[in-house]
């Protein structure tokens, strides 16, 4: 006897409305998890060293384990799953592909991409595993992921919307870095600012839930969501300064949360409803992979802009820091006099140089953030054009009742 949970618990809900509401709650909690975790852990990060934090993080799994043991019943499946249906080789190939992709996105820019031997090995290994995975799916009777679903244009549209949404979702980390590095917010105050983003997510999910329950065309909820994301990136683009106050940014944080909350649930449901019922499980698995690929792609883009683009801006700024620059000389004299007045009698000129270096570093970060958010704005505009050119997409509700599966 053992504690188990059924894969198709979501499909056992009694009504179609209950299934749609359960999806909204599940993904709403998923979207809120990152900013909420930062709020919960901010006090610990500010008060303890990382050795103690990792010890507490390891022990934090114990309450969840106890909750599972207490809340779940020991049952046996009426219909046992045959072991021959578990395709472990395909699972290993599939996992290897996404791990190789994630490795390249995280570390690629730091080692100048494929000039590094490890990147070359990761690329070749990922391609080899992908080819093995595809060939295996073509010859097996009980496939791990049915690759025929990629012939469905509606599915590909949903995957594109989901992939780009995840890239734009994690652009919020650039704003968080700006708050920490430029505005000098400590982790506690930074976590408090994130509540505006959580509020936007909750409101967006509730609005999208109403839209889905009312069986309205998903096209217009996508358009509205990406308009909010476009607004967030444009507002932040013009708000990045070397100085500022955190309470100026609650509106763009809310815009970001509301836009993500609007897009997430309708996109998942649309993608699953775009395929035939026997392909719904494969579509759900692909959606899960696309979410991961979107997250790691956002890391790769941010690393590229931060390590390459920011350095380019810093080099341009440094070209103006010459001995014959009158403005720079006046700044040195002003800062040296201020430091001398505050009690620093030695090396005040060297300290002023360090202050200039810090300002150049912050200004380079601001330029990097502006360039990155400009790219996100262009992505939003491109996706909006694609959505405008698509049909009404209202027919998804005809298949949604049959195709709903576990979202995880």
In angstroms, the Cα distances linking 230 to 203, 209, 237, 316, 358 are 18, 22, 10, 29, 31
pLDDT above 70: percentage of residues in the chain: 75
Average the pLDDT over 375-395 and give the result: 82
Distance, CA of 362 to CA of 397 (rounded, Å): 49
Nearest CA-CA partner of 259 in 222, 312, 215, 214:
222
Check residue 3 and give its pLDDT: 37
Cβ–Cβ < 8 Å for 294, 162: yes
pLDDT(349) > 70:
no
Distance, CA of 209 to CA of 214 (rounded, Å): 8
pLDDT digits (tens, 9 = 90+) for 115-129: 888 888 889 998 998
DSSP 183: S
In angstroms, the Cα distances linking 391 to 19, 201, 211, 386, 394 are 25, 27, 17, 10, 8
Check residue 397 and give its pLDDT: 55
Distance, CA of 55 to CA of 65 (rounded, Å): 17
252-256, 296-300, 349-353: which range is least confident on average? 349-353
pLDDT band at residue 5 using 50, 70 and 90 as cut-offs: very low
In angstroms, the Cα distances linking 174 to 113, 170, 254, 365, 375 are 22, 8, 15, 10, 13
Q: Is 174 exposed, middle or buried (0-12, 13-18, 19+ CB in 10 A)?
A: buried
pTM of the model as a whole: 0.79
Check residue 31 and give its pLDDT: 80
Beta bridge partner(s), residue 3: 74
Check residue 46 and give its pLDDT: 67
pLDDT(2) > 60:
no
pLDDT digits (tens, 9 = 90+) for 153-208: 888 888 888 899 889 888 888 888 888 877 877 777 777 888 888 888 889 888 88
Using the structure block, give the residue that is written with the tokens 């763009």. 252
- What is the Cα gyration radius of the chain? 25
pLDDT band at residue 227 using 50, 70 and 90 as cut-offs: very high
pLDDT band at residue 81 using 50, 70 and 90 as cut-offs: low
Check residue 7 and give its pLDDT: 42
**Between these two residues, 150 and 400, which has the higher pLDDT value?**
150
Average the pLDDT over 241-268 and give the result: 84
Beta-carbon-side half-sphere exposure of residue 388 (alpha carbons within 13 Å): 9
Average the pLDDT over 218-243 and give the result: 87
Check residue 4 and give its pLDDT: 38
Mean pLDDT of the chain: 77
Average the pLDDT over 93-110 and give the result: 87
pLDDT(228) > 90:
yes
Distance, CA of 185 to CA of 291 (rounded, Å): 30
pLDDT(325) > 70:
no
Question: How would DSSP label each residue in 191-218?
Answer: HHHHHHHHHHHHHHHHHHHHHHHTT--H
pLDDT(211) > 90:
no
Phi-psi region of 49 (alpha: psi -120 to 50; beta: other; left: phi over 0): beta
Average the pLDDT over 251-261 and give the result: 90
Phi and psi angles of residue 171, each rounded to the nearest 5 degrees, phi first = -65, -15
Check residue 175 and give its pLDDT: 86
In angstroms, the Cα distances linking 307 to 83, 109, 164, 356, 359 are 48, 7, 22, 20, 17
């Amino acid at each position: 006897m053992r504690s188990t949970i059924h894969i198709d618990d979501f499909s056992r809900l009694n009504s179609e409305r209950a299934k749609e509401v359960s999806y909204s709650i599940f993904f709403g909690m998923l979207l809120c998890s990152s900013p909420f975790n930062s709020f919960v852990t901010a006090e610990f990060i500010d008060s303890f060293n990382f050795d103690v934090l990792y010890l507490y993080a390891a022990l934090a799994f114990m309450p969840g384990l106890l909750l599972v043991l207490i809340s779940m019943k020991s049952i046996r499946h009426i219909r046992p799953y045959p072991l021959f249906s578990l395709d472990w080789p395909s699972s290993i190939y599939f996992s290897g592909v996404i791990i190789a992709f994630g490795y390249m996105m995280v570390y690629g820019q730091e080692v100048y991409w494929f000039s590094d031997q490890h990147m070359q090995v990761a690329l070749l290994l990922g391609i080899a595993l992908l080819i093995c995975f595809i060939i295996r799916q073509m010859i097996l009777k009980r496939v791990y992921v049915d690759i025929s679903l990629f012939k469905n244009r509606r599915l590909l549209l949903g995957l594109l919307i989901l992939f780009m949404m995840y890239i734009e979702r994690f652009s919020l980390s650039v704003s968080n870095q700006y708050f920490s590095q430029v505005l000098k917010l400590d982790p506690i105050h930074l976590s408090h600012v994130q509540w505006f983003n959580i509020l936007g997510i909750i409101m967006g999910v509730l609005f999208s839930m109403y839209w889905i329950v009312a069986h309205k065309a998903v096209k217009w909820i996508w358009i509205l969501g990406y308009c909010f994301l476009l607004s967030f990136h444009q507002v932040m683009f013009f708000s990045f300064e070397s100085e500022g106050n955190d309470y100026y940014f609650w509106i763009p944080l809310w815009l970001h949360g509301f836009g993500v909350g609007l897009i997430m649930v309708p996109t998942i449901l649309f993608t699953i409803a775009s395929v035939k019922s026997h392909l719904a499980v494969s579509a759900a698995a692909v959606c899960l992979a696309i979410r991961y690929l979107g997250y790691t792609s956002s890391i790769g883009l941010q690393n590229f802009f931060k390590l390459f683009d920011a350095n380019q801006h810093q080099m341009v700024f440094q070209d103006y820091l010459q001995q014959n620059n009158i403005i720079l000389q006046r700044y040195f004299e002003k800062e040296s006099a201020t430091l001398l007045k505050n009690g620093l009698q030695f090396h005040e000129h060297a300290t002023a140089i360090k202050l200039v270096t810090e300002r150049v570093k912050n200004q380079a970060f601001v330029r990097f953030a502006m360039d990155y958010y400009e790219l996100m704005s262009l992505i939003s505009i491109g996706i909006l054009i694609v959505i405008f050119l698509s049909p009404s997409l209202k027919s998804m509700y005809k298949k949604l009742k049959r195709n709903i599966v576990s979202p995880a």
